[in-house]
Amino acid sequence: MSDIVYKRVAGVFRNPAVRRELQQLDPERDYQRMVQLLVGYEFPFDVTRALELALFHTYASPRTSALLMRTGEFERHGQKRYDDTSILIAWFMQYGLDTETGQRAITHMNRIHGFYQIENEDFLMVLSTFIFYPIHWINRYGWRKLTPGEERAFFLFFREVGQLMNLTNIPPTLEDLRTFTDKYEAEHFRYAESNRRIADATVRIVEGWFPKPLRFAVQPVFAALINDKLREAFGYQKPAAWFCGLLEGSFWLRKWPLRWITFKPYPTLVENTGHRSYKTGLPAVEELGPTRLISKKQ
């Protein structure tokens, strides 16, 4: 994978060399570099928001939400769990699966998962959201749409993640993956109290990021950004049409200046991004995760 690092033009404008490199890469061979460029330069904000919604999506399955409720991590240590999950994922997306950092992140993630009894199809469902949500979000809200090759790169990247997680029966194409998720959702997505509790706990995490006068809007924003199937599974109501329209309009307005300028670090990395649970510095990869599990591994 290339080690070229780009800089913004005049400190604020997008560097067109990033797009040129993406256009020259072959997703079948270069998918790790393509994901690195998309996450680090082109769409850092969008991928982060998409993956937050991806995790939210998985709570619509009572099997998943019940497991999360039993661990108590979301309700007792919500911000830390959010930070630990986002840091682990970012480390292997930003540095690549073949690097030391990426391999350590995958290995550690597998160790944490090993403490729980999780079905293969539940893992596949979570994996699928990490593919579909970035693609959908960027194509709808990003400053440009993804190319077919970039969409293919997301799929191939997370297919390899699934292989490194020792998952079986990973669908071979995006179309087959969509068939799998549709079937899974039809069988497993339904309202349960555990869904609602984990969804509400996640909303409270995000509310903590905003001043008190703005926190009232967090739950309606989540409810506006998810589909009817998920709203039913969480017991959420769709916000008023004017609210949804205002939200869509704000994302639409955001697109235009971002075609030329960006205020995100170039590239955006774990190391130059703030993490509320680690204000004094990042821990080692192996120190991330529930404290009680980390102590068991030592």
Helix-helix angle 44-58:120-141, to 10 degrees: 140
Euclidean distance between CA atoms 201 and 193, whole angstroms: 12
Residues β-bridged to residue 9 = 13
User: Which positions of the chain have pLDDT values less than 50?
Assistant: 298
CB 58 within 8 A of CB 125: yes
The amino acid sitting at 106 is I
Distance (Å, whole) CA 290 – CA 78 = 11
What pLDDT, in 10s, does the model give residues 159-212? 999 999 999 999 999 999 999 999 999 999 999 999 999 999 999 999 999 999
Q: Find the helix packing angle between 174-188 and 148-164, rounded to 10°.
A: 60
Closest C-alpha among 30, 32, 49 to residue 94: 32
Backbone angles phi, psi at 93, to 5 degrees: -75, -40
pTM for the whole thing? 0.94
Distance CA 192, CA 60 (A): 8
pLDDT score at 295: 62
pLDDT score at 1: 65
Between CA 220 and CA 6 the distance in angstroms is 38
